[in-house]
Amino acid sequence: MAHQFTTSYLADSLTLFRQYKKLADGAMAQVSDEQLNATLDPEMNSIAQIVKHMAGNMRSRWTDFLTTDGEKPNRNRDREFVDAPATREALLAVWEDGWQHVFHALEPLSDEDLSRTVQIRNEPHSVMQAINRQIAHYSMHCGQIVLLAKHFASGHWKTLSVPRNRSEEFNRAVLSGEKSQR
């Protein structure tokens, strides 16, 4: 993420959401369609199941964000972990739709909205608390996606951050204003 100085909580939050989405996008692009649905053991979720869960959460939390409870009555959280979309295209459509709910809800907000009260599972949250809750939730799941993709891609993995054993080179490039070669 290119650093841009800001004192806007909302701008920072949107940047973080976009950063985590980009990491997961980059990870998913490096695995096969079969690997999107693979698990490491019977208790784990596949990348596709994580994506379906995140998208379900995003639709629920961010639809009518300021006016209705973030846990919608039509959401079936348990179903999010079974029967993932059958194709990469279908999975990515679900993924993109979920993120559109996030951005559609957050982009029009103003700093004055941060202290408003929203409900999640009948519990009051300030808008800022609700955003923080989702940043934490999505970053955890994006990390799971990256971990699984890195495992499956193995020797073919292309780093999404500072390359291993190249921190000094990376830091020199950043300090000199060069773009990093990742």
Q: Is residue 127 part of a domain?
A: yes
Q: Is residue 88 part of a domain?
A: yes
Q: Is residue 181 part of a domain?
A: no
Based on the structure, what is the number of domains in the chain? Answer: 1
pTM of the model: 0.88
Residue from 142, 140, 114 nearest 129 by CA? 114
Contact at 8 Å (CB) between 7 and 13?
A: no
- DSSP codes joined into one string, 157-179: ---SSSPTT-HHHHHHHHHHTPP
Q: Is residue 3 part of a domain?
A: no
Angle between helices 47-62 and 88-106 (to 10 degrees): 30
CATH of the domain at 164: 1.20.120.450
Residue 166, phi then psi, degrees to nearest 5: -135, 25
pLDDT at residue number 1: 46
Domain of 60, in residue numbers: 9-176
* pLDDT, tens only, 110-137: 999 999 999 999 999 999 999 999 999 9
* pLDDT, tens only, 90-101: 999 999 999 999
pLDDT at residue number 180: 46
